[in-house]
Structures are given as C-alpha cells and as structure tokens.
Amino acid sequence: MEVMVMESRSEICPQMSRSCSDGGFSDCNSDRSGEFSPAGGTFSLRRVLVSSSSEYSDEVVRGLISELESPSVESQYRAATQLRFLAKHNPENRIHIARAGAVAPLVALLSHPDPQLQEQGVTAVLNLSLCDENKATIATAGAVGHLVRTLCFGTPAARENAACVLLRLAQLDDLRVAIGGSGAIPALVALLQTGGSRGKKDAATALFTLLASKENSSRAVEAGVVRPLLDLMADPESGMVDKAAYVLHRVLALPEGRAAAVDEGGVPVLVEMVDVGSQRQKEVAMLSLLHICEESSAYRRMVVREGAIPSFVALSQSSSKKIKEKAEALIALLRQPTSPRTKRGMALA
C-alpha cells in the first residue's frame, strides 16, 4: 500500500468533524504516472529499481541533480525518473533529495515542452511533497504557477499528480489562499468536469482542502463548480457521491453558493440523497439542506415541494443521535411561518 497523504480526520474536516466523517478524502497517493516512455530513451530498468532502495550516496543524488540541468532530454528524463523512484516510498530519501537541491530543477521540468518529461517531473515533485518538511521548499521554488499550467495542459497523469501536489501545498494555511488566487480553482473545476475517474477524485480532494478558505469557495462558485458536483452526486456509478457532497457542503457556506446550488437544481438532488443514500450521505445532505433552508422561506418551500418532510420525520426517529438531531432541526425550520418581510419582498419581486 502506498503512502497516504491526507491528515487525520479531524484535521481534514474541522468544521464537520463532530457531525460527520471526512467523506473518504484520504487517498492522493504517490507516483501514479506511467512507468516508462519511449520519449525517455533507453536505460536500465534494473538500475532504476535498485535506485529506489534506501541505500544510495549523496554523490549519486548530486549527479542526478546535475543531469536534471543537462541539455539532453534523455538525461533529464533518466534523472527525474530515478529521483522519482528514490522518493517514492522512503521518507528519509524525500528529505535528503530536497536538501540536496533537487526541488528547483524538478519544478523547472513542469514547464518543459516534452510532455513525458513534464510528467516525470511533476510525479517526482509529488513524491517529495509527501514529506511535510518539503512543502515550503516546493512552494518557494515557484511550483504553484507551474503546477497550474501542468493542471491545464499536461498529460492525464501529469494533471492528476499536479492536483495532488496542490492538495499537499494547500494543507499549509498560509498557502491556501495564494494557491486559490493563482488560477488553480478553475483548473481543478475543469479536471473535475473532464478528467478520468482518478482525475475527478484528485480534483475533488484538492478542492475540498482549498475550499476551507471562503475566498476560495467564492472562486469555485464563479468557476462553475456546483454543476459538476451535482452531476457526480446524482450518479452513483461515478464513485464520487460522497466526495462531491462534501465539497458542495463547503460551497454552501456562502450565500452565492446556496443560490448557485438552488439555481442548478440542487434541492432535488439533496432530497433524493436523504431518501436513498447511505447514512453518511443522508447526514451530509441534511447538513446541506439546513444551510439552504436557513437562507429563505422560498428555499424552504422548495424543499417541502420535493416531498422531503416524510423522510425527515422518519429520520427523526433514527437511533443515530446525529441523524436524529439534523432531521429534527430541518422539521423545525420547515414549520416556520413565512415572515411578513419575506412576503413583502416576494410581492415586490
């Protein structure tokens, strides 16, 4: 099993740790690129596999770093691949490689015109980013802008791995907003829409971390994140129902997020999840509906029209205290009369 990169559940989901689980945000692993490509030339597979062991010399690493700056694409590819394997499973190697000065030349490969070399570079950076000590070094080397470009224009594997590196860097509080302001949010939303299964999961995981910042949540709404999230939530075959639901919950913390969710048909999707979803899905769906119902009486009437009350009544008898409390809170909200001010506002509208 490869190294897991997310932190503990309470760190992943601080606002929701008491009321729900993390929704499965736990598997942005090291090293998922294609193993080798003809673009990299011919070199010994055995040599690469041996290099991934814990035994290596500083001289070997310095030599590989020197090759990264070679004018030969084949030499650069060979060096990036060997550093990638050295960093793949061994935490000590990750620290030693970064301290030896490999980060800057590896980051430079992220803008190389050769797509396979770029892929090896971003994957090596991903493996180094699994060490918390290396995150600031990677960011200081100017990686964020390169990662966003890779996320937009790289190979499918490079895009996935770039999303994972951004996730790792976003775990630093002081980098989260900066990453969001770099153009990463629209690029991640695009990956969520157009990526393969693995790419969609990586994009959702990175967005979940970045959207801990309300500023980034606003950027995500502007980038159109709500529609693909609802599509994934409505498709059990996507394997993304839980992840998408938890990202949406973060978006709903903002008024514009709630408005976008309602406009995009989110209420029926959430009510359906309450009806037929797993216990975890019911819980996050009710949390999201609470956000929506607290916004306005018009939204509450929409929830009632979707036939949600019988489900809430049934769940209010649940043996799960968390489920029961959320169902009771929703029933209480839906029983509130429309305020005179709301009625006047609706008449004016």
Q: State mean pLDDT over 111-129.
A: 97
The answer to which of 26-35, 116-125, 215-224 has the lowest mean pLDDT is: 26-35
Q: State mean pLDDT over 249-263.
A: 97
Q: What's the chain's average pLDDT? A: 85
pLDDT of residue 24: 55
Three-point CA angle 286, 288, 294, nearest 5°: 95
What global pTM score does this model have?
0.83
The answer to which of 47-56, 58-67, 274-283 has the lowest mean pLDDT is: 47-56
Q: State mean pLDDT over 247-272.
A: 97
Place of tokens 């992220």: 110
Whether 192 shows a pLDDT value over 80: the answer reads: yes
pLDDT one-digit tens code per residue, 44-57: 444 444 444 445 67
- Comparing CA positions, the residue from 138, 130, 5 lying closest to residue 147 is 138
pLDDT of residue 50: 45
pLDDT one-digit tens code per residue, 324-347: 999 999 999 999 876 533 433 333
Q: In the chain, pLDDT over 90 holds for what percent of residues?
A: 78
The answer to which of 39-43, 272-276, 281-285 has the lowest mean pLDDT is: 39-43
Higher-pLDDT residue of 308, 30: 308
The answer to which of 49-63, 71-85, 192-206 has the lowest mean pLDDT is: 49-63
Whether 153 shows a pLDDT value over 60: the answer reads: yes
pLDDT of residue 46: 44
pLDDT of residue 91: 92
Q: State mean pLDDT over 259-270.
A: 98
Place of tokens 């990453």: 179
pLDDT of residue 345: 33
Report the distance separating Cα 16 and Cα 21, nearest Å. Answer: 7
Report the distance separating Cα 236 and Cα 243, nearest Å. Answer: 12
- Comparing CA positions, the residue from 105, 21, 95, 154 lying closest to residue 164 is 154
159, with CB counted inside 10 A (0-12, 13-18, 19+), is buried
Whether 27 shows a pLDDT value over 80: the answer reads: no
pLDDT of residue 58: 83
Q: State mean pLDDT over 99-123.
A: 97
Residue 307, number of CB atoms within 10 A of its CB: 11
230, with CB counted inside 10 A (0-12, 13-18, 19+), is buried
Q: State mean pLDDT over 26-47.
A: 49
